[in-house]
Structure 1
Amino acid sequence: MTTRTVLDGAEISRALTRISHEIIEANKGVADLVLVGIPTRGSMLARRIAEIISRIEGVDVPVGSLDTTMYRDDLAQHPTRAPHPTDMPMSVDGVTVVLVDDVLFSGRTVRAALDALGDHGRPKAVRLAALIDRGHRELPIRADYIGKNLPSSRDERISVKLTEHDGEDSVTISGGTREAGESA
């Protein structure tokens, strides 16, 4: 099984800077903006985006973390999921919420996040930022802000590593059924 790096630390940093600028532009500033990460790495990415926005705009954007475990539609198949703490230190009523996740795949985690978010209020709008969009959607969900589109086969594995959790920043892809020497 081969593994290749598709984003290194500098490329992740540039992607997050671009996403941050896109969020500011689309929101026409940072007024009434809240970032909400989907644990684990989505929460870390949300904090990084908030730091970048703060450097650009000189304003701190509220950041929360939203556990989706009990809202998932696959609990019967994966009942041992360990819940992550939800940390929503702000109201989401009437604001634009940007959900942040590391990899957008089937869309089921985002659907669960939308359900969980509804328990915390009624946002004016909800947007989605993903570091990696790998395709294979099972639900009609798309990201508004994408670090990198990475078409992949279902049997490939995308791994996002972040310094805060893994000691390094990288995105790798491994597995698949390609023969050696066959191009992507």
Structure 2
Amino acid sequence: MPDTLDVQALLDDMASQLQTLLQQSGISDPVIIGIHTGGVWVAEALRQRLGLTQPVGTLSITFYRDDFTRIGLHPQVQPSDLPFDIDDRVIILVDDVLHTGRTIRAALNEIFDYGRPARVILATLVARPGRELPIAADVVGTTLELSEDEHVKLTGPEPLRLEKAST
């Protein structure tokens, strides 16, 4: 990973990709949902760039994770907040990093507990190799090649920055 990535430029590019996808698909009124925490920050930045009027929905997937018994419950679980009906709506689901696909699987499970959307468009700031599930993003800010012992994390909310760490 380069020492610095221009997160604002990545967000601008993602917004442009989304605008094109929405126009080509004839979608005029999507809602946007971010996965707590980094995905919410990215979703809010995209919402502003796209000029969407609905507030960002927030998903906390803690109870939907398939590694819940291994990692335990986070001490400060935030509740999910979807301030709109999702039935028959187009959802832009946003996360900061797509790696194994397990977070997205958990988010989709939770979304379908709220209703049945017409379509889910997946957008991620960073995609990296290592999928364990057949999940791919429709919109990607950047793709990073990292070793298995390296991780990338979005910090923020102001300013949004990507940081790399090793375990």
TM over 0.5: yes
1:21-52 deviation digits (Å, cap 9, x = unpaired): 22122122652301100000101111110011
Percent sequence identity is: 35
**What is the DSSP-based 3-state SS (H/G/I as helix, E as strand, rest coil) of the residue aligned with 2:17?**
helix
Computing the radius of gyration over CA atoms, which structure comes out larger, 1 or 2?
1
Give TM-score, length-normalised by structure 1.
Answer: 0.82
2:165 is aligned to: 174
1:116-136 deviation digits (Å, cap 9, x = unpaired): 000111111111111010110
Give TM-score, length-normalised by structure 2.
Answer: 0.90
Is the CA contact (8 Å cut-off) linking 2:62 and 2:73 kept in structure 1?
no
1:77 is aligned to: 70
1:99 is aligned to: 93
> C-alpha distance in 2, partners of 1:130/1:6?
18
1:180 is aligned to: none
Name the amino acid aligned to 2:106.
A
* Deviation (angstroms), 1:142: 0.6
1:49 is aligned to: 46
1:79-123 deviation digits (Å, cap 9, x = unpaired): 132422211000111111111001111100000000000011111
Is the CA contact (8 Å cut-off) linking 1:53 and 1:61 kept in structure 2?
no
Does residue 132 of structure 1 match 2:126?
A: yes
Aligned length: 164
> C-alpha distance in 1, partners of 2:46/2:136?
19
